[in-house]
Amino acid sequence: MDGPQSQTPAEAAGPPGFFAPGGSDGLQLAWRRVDAKEFAGAGIVWLGGFKSDMLSTKAECIGQWAKENGRAFLRFDYSGHGESAGRFEDGTIGCWTDQSLAMIRALTAGPQILVGSSMGGWIALLVARALMELGETNRLAGLVLIAPAVDFTEELMWQKLPASARSEIETNGFWLRPTQYAPEPYPITRTLIVEGRKHLLFGDTIRSHCPVHILQGMEDPDVPWGHALKLVEHLAGDPVALTLIKDGDHRLSRNQDIARLLTAISEIV
């Protein structure tokens, strides 16, 4: 649900900071931040996709835009991703959500716009739910979701796997999934699938308690555009805008896609 997108060497972006938030089992997570020069709107938080990292094309472009516009911007790598500690195959939706919530609460101040790409879209909605339960919905100014892969471990992965792959996961505890985004396959673990079922959202109404803008490519092979429509239906209690991009792929990293993304962010507040 994304995959490696790094386009810029880590050195060019400057060295990351490291922090071990709650939910990371003591693992040091890498992060980078643009501090606001003056208040010019809500801060922005990047939530990347499955096996992606904070040096992706979209995250880099948001970082540059934030610098030019005086906006605060936080990005980080989940455990097992990018420059953070930990093994990818030990990660779950729950731990990556807990890490995201802890990083946001510790490293940002005031209202934030969560920009979630693919799996990051699911995590953004889970963070929104957690903030609601904590009585902190005022920390969200809005969500911008790019090809949001809500419930992907179940609906877009497990239910669509061939019987042989499911059998391998049940028997061996993992299956190596070929991907067009990297030369090596991704390990899909039984733990990822089973733990993911604790965080499924489509069984009930979904609330973000803030404006939501969804960007979805109609040529996306990983997250069908009908999945975005399903999310809109479940977000009945919140203001939602959906932009369908007829020739858009999963990553939406072309110049015109980046322009749409930055416009969506700037229009929230």
Number of domain units in the chain: 1
**Cα gap 189→78, rounded to integer Å:** 17
d(CA 48, CA 262): 16
What residues are labeled active site? 118, 220, 250
Residue 26 lies in a domain: yes
258 in a structural domain: yes
DSSP H/E element including 257? helix 255-268
With respect to residue 262, please indicate whether it lies within any of the assigned structural domains: yes
How are strands ordered across the β-sheet holding 112-117? 17-19, 29-34, 73-76, 43-47, 112-117, 140-146, 212-217, 240-245
Residue-wise pLDDT tens digits, 60-84: 999 999 999 999 999 999 999 999 9
What pLDDT band is residue 5 in, cutting at 50, 70 and 90? very low
Q: Which two tokens stand for residue 9?
A: 């060497």
Does residue 8 surpass a pLDDT of 60? no
DSSP designation for 259? H
CATH code for the domain in which residue 38 is found: 3.40.50.1820
Q: Rounded to an integer, what distance in angstroms lies between the CA atom of residue 101 and that of residue 91?
A: 15
Assess contact for 50 and 149: CB atoms under 8 A: yes
Residue 167 falls inside a structural domain: no
Higher pLDDT, 180 or 216: 216
Over residues 86-100, the pLDDT tens digits come to 999 999 999 999 999
Which structural domain, as residue segments, surrounds residue 50?
A: 22-150+210-268
Q: How confident is the model at residue 1 (pLDDT cuts 50, 70, 90)?
A: low
Q: Does some domain include residue 201?
A: no
Whole-number pLDDT of residue 39: 67
Q: Quick one: what percent of the chain has pLDDT higher than 70?
A: 95
Report the predicted TM-score, pTM, of the whole model to 2 decimal places.
0.94
Residue 77: strand, helix, or coil: coil
- Of 25 and 139, the structure prediction assigns the larger pLDDT to 139
| Rounded Cα distance, 169 and 166, in Å | 5
Is 250:218 a contact under the CB 8 Å cutoff? no
The backbone torsions φ and ψ at residue 114, rounded to the nearest 5 degrees and listed phi first, read -90, 120
- Give pLDDT tens digits for 195-250: 999 999 999 999 999 999 999 999 999 999 999 999 999 999 999 999 999 999 99
Average pLDDT along the chain? 93
Q: Model confidence at 37, in pLDDT bands (50, 70, 90)?
A: confident
130 closest CA partner among 140, 120, 116: 140
Give me the mean pLDDT over the 114-134 stretch: 98
